[in-house]
Amino acid sequence: MSARTAGVLGIAALLLACSDPDKAELSPFFLWGMRPGMQLDSVEQFLIRQDNVPWGKCEDLGNRFRRCERHTSWIWGRLEAVAGPDGRVLYLSFAPDKSEHGTGRDVIFDKQLDVMAQQWARTRHVRMDPHGVNEASHRGIAEFSTARGRWKALLTFDGRLCTGTSRPCLALIQLLDWRAAQSYALMTVPPL
């Protein structure tokens, strides 16, 4: 096989992988610059660039799976990641802080999430199911997923309204490789 033929086949394979998010190695769902499929070390480097703080705690979950977490200060909250044996992030979650630290900052996060969700929705083969969450019903879990369901973004709303608005505010965002990490997903809505 000539080098030119191999190059053309390589480009074609790359285009096919990019056109179907289920086959891609990185999730189309991201939180700021982090997404499932990245290496855990890359997620930590992103966090260090934000506020010069590494993971606060990492624990071994067995079978070479690791869970790392830390609090964030640029948007008050708690970030958690679970990585598989190869170091690839399978689950990424963010819970905005509901205490006085988070007051007012939930609006900032809500606006950022709106932008991210609009970008997710424009991704080819991605569908959104609000599961009844809307302006009138502020409790439940809305879901974005790729066509074959490998990559998911779960947005949990607990009925709380964002500061100074009548819009439901997010209680938890979970991004995951559903095939590998569905057991980590929190599927219940917390009380107010």
Question: Which pLDDT tens digits describe the chain residue by residue (192 residues)?
Answer: 444 444 433 443 444 344 455 667 999 999 999 999 999 999 999 999 999 999 999 999 999 999 999 999 888 899 999 999 999 999 999 998 876 554 556 677 878 888 998 999 898 899 999 998 887 888 999 999 999 899 999 999 998 887 777 778 889 999 999 999 999 999 998 877
Q: Is residue 172 part of a domain?
A: yes
Q: Is residue 52 part of a domain?
A: yes
Q: Is residue 94 part of a domain?
A: yes
Q: Is residue 19 part of a domain?
A: no
Judging by DSSP bridges, how do beta strands 77-83 and 57-62 pair with one another? unpaired
3-class SS at 137? coil
State the total domains in the chain. Answer: 1
Q: What integer pLDDT is reported at residue 110 of this predicted model? A: 79
184 DSSP assignment: G
Task: Please identify which residue in the block is written with the tokens 């708690």.
Answer: 78
Q: How many CA atoms lie within 13 A of 150 on its CB side?
A: 14
Q: Is residue 7 part of a domain?
A: no
Q: What integer pLDDT is reported at residue 5 of this predicted model? A: 41
Q: Is residue 3 part of a domain?
A: no
Q: What integer pLDDT is reported at residue 167 of this predicted model? A: 77
Burial class (CB in 10 A: 0-12, 13-18, 19+), 114: exposed
Q: Name the pTM for this structure.
A: 0.83
Q: Is residue 13 part of a domain?
A: no
Q: Which domain holds residue 56?
A: 25-184
Q: Is residue 40 part of a domain?
A: yes
